[in-house]
DNA sequence: TATACGTGGGG
DNA sequence: TCCCCAAGTAT
């Protein structure tokens, strides 16, 4: 067992605790949604769903989860897959490190743990991409262990139940919430209790307009009693995205387009792209020599042509103002550097591209009138 | 501890 | 258009 750090304990009123468990579980039994990952308690299936659901809406995840499970029905299937295939099934979901970490972790489980997802907190927490929340979620849902699984929903619910004004953006606040969660936890039904908390946050205890009239525990909620449910949770505002000028090179030769795998770390790590340069201050024109230089260092000499179009793409932390520039490869590196490859124009769905590049490829396709038909998008 | 890391939906 | 948000983790 992992040693929990010495967190303060909160001696909650016993009657309050029992009533909240009873009301929450009863409400969950009556109102829980039919979701694909609730059809079994297979630890692998629970695990995949929890990774996909990180910072991602349920409605967005459902089709991805179904496609993923049809193609990788068991942990061994996923462990034996190529990383490019895994990324292809993650294409468009975002936070792509989740997919690479999950794949690496599943391979470790297959080889080191005999294909069985670890059942103890210490071991499962060492797997890539499995943090405090995911460890608690898998252990409670799949293995019925009384571990807290405190996500954004649970923090919102708790901040209201206990009228807490701690900033939920701070890691220390979540640790405090986990201490509360351990106190309130239903030891008989840990998985349902954790899911009930999250379901309440998702269906009733909304961020902006909580439906307190429909809440099964409204009489037990301190924020409601004080009429401050709309003021909670307290959360520090995020910084706005930083604008960047970006150029995508759409470089052709003999009906093929040059594409490049992005580096293994950082933004869109490991995904395919068009050759790209980005800069905060330079204008787009000033960026062209940088792109030429990058390509020359890889052995490509390019003559630039028309601007094919422009588009914007907003990440959580930066905003790309993209110019798509047509180019013709005059001379080509032999052999082709590892991170580059040629794709037949229009056949983009053989590789996994993030959304920003899908936008650009769609613009280029509309220019050239090719009949691009992506299989997923 | 604060920041990087995607994307899409809704008010 | 803008802002907030959504089942977090790694560093």
| CA of residue A10 to C1' of nucleotide B9, angstroms | 37
pLDDT at residue A370, as a whole number = 54
The answer to whether A246 and A277 are in contact (CB under 8 A) is: yes
Measured CA to C1', the nucleotide nearest A98 is C9
Q: What is the CATH number of domain A242-364?
A: 3.90.79.10
* Positions of E strands within A188-338: 242-253, 256-261, 272-273, 276-279, 301-314, 318-331
Measured CA to C1', the nucleotide nearest A271 is B6
pLDDT at residue A373, as a whole number = 45
A60 touches strand B (CB under 7 A): yes
Q: How far is CA A176 from CA A16, A162, A330, A334, in A?
A: 19, 12, 61, 58
A240 touches strand C (CB under 7 A): yes
Domains of chain A, by residue range, sit at: 14-231, 242-364
Scanning residues 244 through 303 of protein chain A, those with a beta carbon under 7 Å from any atom of strand C turn out to be: none
pLDDT at residue A2, as a whole number = 38
The reply to whether the predicted model has a pTM over 0.85 is yes
- Is the pLDDT confidence value at A3 over 60? no
A308 φ, ψ (degrees, to nearest 5) = -85, -20
Mean pLDDT score, A80-102: 97
- Is the pLDDT confidence value at A369 over 70? no
Q: Which nucleotides of B are covered by protein (CB under 7 A)?
A: 1-9, 11
CA closest to B6 C1', residue: A94
> Exposed, middle or buried, A94 (CB in 10 Å: 0-12/13-18/19+)?
middle
Mean pLDDT score, A316-345: 94
Peptide bond into A323 cis (omega under 30): no
DSSP state letters, A207-229? SSS--GGG-TTGGG-HHHHHT-G
At A40, the pLDDT band (50, 70, 90 cuts) reads very high
Handedness of CA A170, A175, A179, A184 (dihedral sign): positive
Q: Residues of A with catalytic annotation?
A: 50
Handedness of CA A3, A4, A5, A9 (dihedral sign): negative
A134 touches strand C (CB under 7 A): yes
pLDDT (tens digit, 9 = 90+) per residue, A249-296?
Answer: 999 999 999 999 999 999 999 999 999 999 988 888 889 999 999 999
Interior/surface letters A331-369, b for 16+ CB within 10 angstroms, e for the rest = ebeeeeeeebbbbebbebbebbbbebbbbbbbbbbeeee
pLDDT at residue A125, as a whole number = 97
Q: Which helix (H) or strand (E) holds A341?
A: strand A340-344
A172 touches strand B (CB under 7 A): yes
| CA of residue A229 to C1' of nucleotide C10, angstroms | 33
Mean pLDDT score, A99-106: 98
pLDDT (tens digit, 9 = 90+) per residue, A207-251?
Answer: 999 999 999 999 999 999 999 999 999 999 888 999 999 999 999
A169 touches strand C (CB under 7 A): no
DSSP state letters, A142-161? HH--------HHHHHHHHHH
| Three-class SS state of A259 | strand
Q: What is the CATH number of domain A14-231?
A: 1.10.340.30
At A4, the pLDDT band (50, 70, 90 cuts) reads very low
Q: Which nucleotides of C are covered by protein (CB under 7 A)?
A: 3-10
- Is the pLDDT confidence value at A376 over 70? no
A23 touches strand C (CB under 7 A): no
| CA of residue A75 to C1' of nucleotide B1, angstroms | 36
A266 touches strand B (CB under 7 A): yes
CA closest to B11 C1', residue: A208
A364 φ, ψ (degrees, to nearest 5) = -65, -40
CA closest to B9 C1', residue: A57
| CA of residue A13 to C1' of nucleotide B8, angstroms | 41
A198 touches strand C (CB under 7 A): yes
- Is the pLDDT confidence value at A77 over 90? yes
A268 touches strand B (CB under 7 A): yes
pLDDT at residue A196, as a whole number = 96
Instruction: Specify which residues A279 forms β-bridges with.
Output: A245
Mean pLDDT score, A38-66: 96
Euclidean distance between CA atoms A303 and A145, whole angstroms:
62
pLDDT (tens digit, 9 = 90+) per residue, A112-165?
Answer: 999 999 999 999 999 999 999 999 999 999 999 999 999 999 999 999 999 999
pLDDT (tens digit, 9 = 90+) per residue, A42-54?
Answer: 999 999 999 999 9
The mean of the pLDDT values for chain A is: 93
Q: Do domains A14-231 and A242-364 have the same CATH topology?
A: no
Euclidean distance between CA atoms A86 and A100, whole angstroms:
8
Q: Which helix (H) or strand (E) holds A121?
A: helix A121-124
């Amino acid at each position: 067992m992992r040693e929990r750090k010495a967190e303060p304990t909160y001696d909650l009123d016993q009657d309050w605790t029992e009533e909240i468990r009873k009301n929450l579980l009863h409400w969950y039994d009556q109102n829980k949604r039919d979701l694909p990952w609730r059809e079994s308690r297979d630890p692998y299936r629970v695990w995949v769903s929890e990774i996909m659901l990180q910072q991602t809406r349920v409605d967005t995840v459902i089709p991805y989860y179904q496609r993923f499970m049809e193609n990788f029905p068991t942990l061994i299937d996923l462990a034996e897959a190529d990383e490019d295939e895994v990324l292809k099934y993650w294409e468009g979901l975002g936070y792509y490190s989740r997919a690479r970490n999950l794949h690496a972790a599943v391979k470790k489980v297959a080889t080191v743990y005999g294909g069985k997802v670890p059942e103890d907190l210490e071991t499962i927490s060492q797997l890539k991409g499995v943090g405090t929340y995911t460890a608690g979620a898998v252990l409670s849902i799949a293995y019925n262990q009384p571990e807290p699984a405190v996500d954004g929903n649970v923090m919102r619910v708790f901040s209201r139940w206990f009228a807490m004004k701690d900033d939920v953006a701070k890691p220390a606040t979540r640790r405090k919430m986990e201490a509360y969660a351990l106190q309130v936890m239903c030891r008989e039904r840990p998985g349902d209790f954790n899911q009930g908390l999250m379901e309440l946050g998702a269906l009733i205890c909304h961020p902006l307009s909580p439906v307190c009239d429909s809440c099964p525990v409204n009489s037990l909620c301190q924020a409601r009693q004080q009429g401050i449910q709309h003021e909670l949770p307290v959360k520090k505002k995020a910084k706005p995205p930083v604008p960047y000028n970006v150029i995508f090179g759409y470089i052709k030769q003999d009906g093929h387009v040059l594409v490049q795998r992005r580096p293994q770390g950082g933004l869109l790590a490991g995904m395919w792209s068009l050759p790209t340069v980005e800069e905060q201050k330079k204008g787009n024109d000033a960026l062209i020599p940088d792109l030429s230089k990058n390509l020359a260092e890889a052995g490509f000499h390019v003559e630039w042509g028309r601007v094919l179009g422009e588009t914007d793409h907003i990440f959580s932390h930066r905003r790309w103002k993209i110019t798509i520039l047509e180019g013709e490869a005059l001379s080509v590196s032999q052999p082709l550097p590892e991170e580059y490859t040629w794709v037949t124009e229009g056949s983009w769905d053989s590789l996994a591209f993030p959304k920003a590049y899908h936008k650009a490829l769609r613009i280029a396709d509309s220019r050239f009138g090719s009949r691009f038909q992506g299989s997923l998008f």
